[in-house]
A = this chain, B = another copy of it.
Amino acid sequence: MEKNGGRVVSSVELAGKCRVKAHQVRKDLSYFGEFGIRGVGYYVKDLLREIKRILGLNKEWRMAVIGIGNLGSALLSYKDFLKQNYKIVAAFDIDPAKVIGRVSEKLGKPVEVLHISRVKEAVKERKIEIGLITTPASEAQNVANILVEAEVKGILNFAPAQITVPEGYVVKDAFFTTILDNLAYLLSST
The listed residue (B61, B173, B184) touching A61 by CB distance below 8 A is: B184
User: How many copies of this chain does one complex carry?
Assistant: 2
Interface pair B74/A70, CB less than 8 Å apart: yes
Interface pair A154/B80, CB less than 8 Å apart: no
Interface pair B56/A184, CB less than 8 Å apart: yes
Given contacts A185-B56, A189-B56, whether A70 and B77 have CB atoms under 8 Å apart is yes
Interface pair B170/A156, CB less than 8 Å apart: no
Interface residues of A in 159-186 (CB under 8 A from B): 160, 162, 164, 170, 172-174, 176-177, 179-186
**Residue A188 at the chain B interface, CB threshold 8 Å:** yes
Give the complex CA separation of A183 and B73 in angstroms.
21
**Residue A71 at the chain B interface, CB threshold 8 Å:** yes
**Residue A107 at the chain B interface, CB threshold 8 Å:** no
Given contacts A78-B70, A185-B55, A185-B56, whether A176 and B162 have CB atoms under 8 Å apart is no
Hey, which bits of chain A sit against chain B, CB under 8 A? 17-19, 54-57, 59, 61, 69-71, 73-74, 77-78, 80-81, 84, 86, 129-130, 137, 153-154, 156, 158, 160, 162, 164, 170, 172-174, 176-177, 179-189
